[in-house]
Structure 1
Amino acid sequence: EREIHENLKEELHELATAQKMTYEQAAAELKECYDGYHFVENTEGIYNPFSVLNTFYKMKFGSYWFETGTPTYLVELLQRSHYDLERMAHVQTDADVLNSIYGDEDPIPMIFQSGYLTIKGYDKEFGLYRLGFPNREVEEGFIKFLVPFYTRLSKVEAPFEIQKFVKELRAGDVDSFFSRLRSFFADTPYELVSDLELHYQNVLFIIYKLLGFYVNAERHTSDGRIDLVLQTDSFIYVMEFKLDGTAEEAMEQINEKGYAQPFEKDSRQLFKIGVNFSNKTRNIEKWIVEKQS
């Protein structure tokens, strides 16, 4: 980062002007998009030089490094090992695993060595590394790449569906949002039936990650685990998902656990939503909504 401000200050000013940003805004965007690589523990973050130089050459931000190759093999590893995608975003492992050249049992070493994950933290006492996506370019590119592997949508269709999801959330149109969500789970491949719960979890992870680039998205709360919280300028959505339970049970859990309490004094309209997945239909069976002004 210091080297960018010392050696590329003029180019950063030009980029800011081209993108109608202040110098500080352009620097922050450059950092969020391309910084964050750590190849050993306790080191200063490194920017992706290929993406930085392309940004200055074209005077706009883009997914320059990600577009140079496609991680098809890595995604197939994830699918073959029935990997829980949410773990990938904050996985802990040790040096022996990171340096492994075998990806059949655990896809993480290959994903790390390919540059899609990087070191985010290190526990010296136990010799454990915490991994995560290095920056927005890699995270957004990788998550978007997953869509056709885990849903019926093609790479071309996915951005338009996500745009519609976001518009529905911003408009408070819950029923349209869930009707669209149903389409994400339609035509679940037969071979996934034996591990259907993990498939649901992985598709939900992909959706909340994609939405998280446009709205505030979370998946945890201090009292137990909450499946999804989405926040826009006007609305807050607190969602709980069940598998072969009932939407009513999901709503009851929201109320009993007090998942909505942190937002009750917020001026935005609050939606509590209970959702049930059915193994029989392999899709969303029912959702119920409680509005709270």
Structure 2
Amino acid sequence: MEYNALLRKLPIGIQTFEKLRKENYLYVDKTELIWKMAFASNPYFLSRPRRFGKSLLLSTFEAYFEGKKELFEGLAIEKMETEWKKYPVLHLDLNAKKYETPADLIAMLNQTLEKWEIVYGNEKKDRSPEERFAYVIERAYEQAGCGVVVLVDEYDKPLLQALDNDALLEDYRKTLKAFYGVLKSADRYLRFAFLTGVTKFSQVSVFSDLNQLNDISLDYSYATVCGITRTELVETFTPEIEEFGRVNKLSAEETVDKMARQYDGYHFHPKGDGVFNPFSVLNAFSKRELGDYWFQTGTPTFLVEMLRKSEYDLRILLDGIEAPASMFSEYRVEANNPIPLIYQSGYLTIKDYDKEFGNYLLLFPNDEVRYGFINFLVPFYTSMTNSDQGFYIGKFVQELRAGDYNAFLTRLQAFFADFPYQLNAKTERHYQVVFYLVFKLMGQFTQAEVESATGRADAVVKTPKYIYVFEFKLNGTAEEALQQIEDKGYLIPYQADGREVIKLGVEFSAEERNISRWLNVM
């Protein structure tokens, strides 16, 4: 008998609600939240990372406002909606094009406007895009005798593609500011408006004329409108969970736990439920193995370049950033701060909230993003290529597991010796960051903790048999490093563990730009 999960259709890459429902793809039911938003009638803005279901969400709104009741049979909204009234829907999707010149954006807007003008009239076809947009909304309102629905998918795609080109960015900003500004002046003609994107650009930019938008990006009520909660995962995908477990020799509970470590952990409100990355979950079920599916679809090269340009201390990023919402919820082009883009792109998420001081704790959401991002960072800060990383890190872990710390430190020495001169000329912090990255990568395979705060050892690595406590000295001796471990009581937390504790003082020579010697005490 063929296994049930093999007969079910996973909606990988399906962004059209009508296609999803008519062709019997699996659907995680978000229609209760969709009805609540539609009922409130506010104009909304939602920021979510790429491939998180924003396009499908807007397509669902489109089907709902077009009154396609048959598509919603068996879903939560079926018991909530009684009218199923049809409204004119204007759906602008900026996701489908590459934007390299000012003409590219105008061409995309013209292409969409021409489709609308065929239906609602083209008397203003020779005017500016914003004038044509305002005219189409008014004509649609008059023809239908009811409010118009405007849906904008990936409103910021042109802006994101021009972040490294100030002149082009400013051109796009002016065009879009005028175009989206129509939604304020046309408010009396609108039944509903919803804009989605990856990034919330600051109020002085694109949205300055749209102060009526209800930004629900950090709203508790809609924290799970995109993504899959743990409950939804189990309720919707039980056969797929069982099939994944069968192939990988795991119980259903073990499968969910492994998937949670790899793909869960996104929080869009500190008290809201966490959500799994939907793209990675669907691909893992399809391929029956855990992989870095979401991370591989977009490399954060521009973000890493921003980190280097701003000289942001990577250790803070890797350990967690405490910041008020104003620091990460909006991106200001003129500010030398990469954190809003890193957060809004999905590489960091909310993990905690300090109510007293109003600060959020931002961390990597899960193992896919944590190790994907760290692996991606390494070639930018070291001479290690992506293909080298598996070899180096694997050998590092094997040597420490075997208790051969001399081999580990000798290999680390060789690793630093390979640095090109321009890296060797970097500051002390650069070397600290490189140590940090190496130990963080080892954390995939063994318990490795790297500390930058005073009162803790520089690094602690736990293997089945050993606990290593490392202290590195740049302008000091290995003896001083060992003495610091002793004087500051770095070993105290591990004395009752039962494993053999090895303390290592490591001396780093500024002249040689490498590890020069080390001492140990067991």
Question: What is the match of residue 161 of structure 1?
Answer: 392
1:285 is paired with a residue whose SS is strand
Is 1:64 equivalent to 2:290 in the alignment?
A: no
* 1:12-63 Cα shifts (integer Å, max 9, x gaps): 0111111111111111001111011122332111110000000111111110
CA contact 1:103–1:109 (8 Å) conserved in 2: no
| Residues 243 and 278, structure 1, Cα contact 8 Å, conserved in 2 | yes
SS at match of 2:284: helix
Which residue of the partner structure matches residue 19 of structure 1? Answer: 248
1-structure distance, mates of 2:288, 2:345: 27
Q: 1:154 and 1:2, CA in 2 relative to 1: closer, same or farther beyond 3 A?
A: same
Query: Are 1:42 and 2:241 matched, yes or no?
Result: no
Q: Secondary structure at the match of 1:77?
A: helix
Q: Which residue of 2 aligns with 1:185?
A: 416
> Take 1:42 and 1:86, find their aligned partners in 2: how far apart are those partners?
26
Residue aligning to 2:237: 8
Contact residue 103 and residue 110 of structure 1 kept, 8 A: no
What is aligned with 1:79?
Answer: 308
Q: Distance in 2 between matches of 1:25 and 1:64?
A: 20
Map Cα deviations across residues 85-116 of structure 1 (whole Å, 9 max, x no partner). 12113101122221123376121111111110
* Structure 1 stretches of at least 4 aligned residues deviating more than 4 Å after TM superposition: 187-195, 220-223
Note closer, same or farther for the CA distance 1:222–1:143 as it changes in structure 2 (3 Å cut). closer
Secondary structure at 1:65 match in 2 = helix
Contact kept, 8 Å, 2:452 with 2:458, in 1: the verdict is: no
Tell me which moved more, 278-287 or 44-53.
278-287
Q: How many angstroms apart in 2 are the aligned matches of 1:215 and 1:103?
A: 41
Counterpart check, 1:33 vs 2:269:
no
TM-superposition CA deviations, 1:236-281 (whole Å, max 9, x none)? 1011111110011001111112212332343322211001112111
Match of 2:438 among 164, 185, 207: 207
1:50-89 deviation line (CA, Å, top 9, x unaligned): 0000011111111000011111111111112222112113
Q: What is the aligned partner in structure 1 of residue 466 from structure 2?
A: 235
The 3-state SS of whatever aligns with 1:112 is: helix
Partners of 1:76 and 1:100 lie apart in 2 by 16
Match for residue 380 of structure 2 among 135, 149, 153: 149
- Give how far 1:192 is off: 5.2
After superposition, the Cα gap between the structure-2 partners of 1:157 and 1:104, relative to the gap in structure 1 and judged at 3 Å, is: farther
Taking the aligned partners of 2:449 and 2:424, their CA distance within structure 1 comes to 27
CA distance 1:192–1:154, shift in 2 (3 Å): closer
2:261/2:366 contact within 8 Å kept: yes
- Give the distance between the partners of 1:9 and 1:103, measured in 2 at CA: 48
Deviates more, 1:168-177 or 1:277-286: 277-286
Deviation, structure 1 residue 147: 1.2
2:347·2:369 contact (CA, 8 Å) conserved in 1? Answer: yes
Range moving further from structure 2, 96-105 or 161-170: 96-105
Change in CA separation of 1:223 and 1:45 when aligned onto 2, cut-off 3 Å: same
Query: Which residue in 1 is equivalent to 2:149?
Result: none
Give the structure 2 partner of residue 106 of structure 1: 337
Question: So what's the TM-score if we normalise by structure 1?
Answer: 0.93
Whole-Å separation in 2 of the counterparts to 1:268 and 1:189: 38
TM-score scaled to structure 2, two decimals? 0.53
Q: Letter of the aligned partner of 2:325 in structure 1? A: A
Match of 1:256 in 2: 487
Q: What one-letter code is carried by the residue in structure 2 that aligns with 1:227?
A: D
More off after superposition, 73-82 vs 165-174: 73-82
Does 2:94 match 1:94?
A: no
Q: CA deviation at 1:190?
A: 4.8
Task: Report the 3-state secondary structure (helix = DSSP H, G, I; strand = E; otherwise coil) of the residue aligned with 2:292.
Answer: coil
In the alignment, which residue of structure 1 is the partner of 2:521? 290
Greater shift in the superposed pair: 19-28 or 223-232: 223-232
Contact 1:37 1:47 in 2 (8 A): yes
Segments of structure 2 that go 5 or more residues without pairing to the other structure are 1-229
Deviations 1:108-147 (A, max 9, x none): 1111111100111122333221100001000010111111
Correspondence 1:225 to 2:225: no
How many pairs does the alignment contain? 291
Residues of 1 paired with 2:394 and 2:469: CA distance?
20
Shift of residue 283 of structure 1?
A: 1.2
- Partner Cα separation in structure 2 for residue 260 and residue 232 of structure 1: 16
Q: Within 1, Cα distance between the matches of 2:454 and 2:299?
A: 39
Return 231-240 or 74-83, whichever deviates more: 74-83
Aligned AA (2:428): E
Q: Secondary structure at the match of 1:144?
A: helix
Counterpart amino acid of residue 500 in structure 2: Q
Note closer, same or farther for the CA distance 1:193–1:169 as it changes in structure 2 (3 Å cut): closer
Name the CA distance, whole Å, in 2 between partners of 1:84 and 1:223. 16
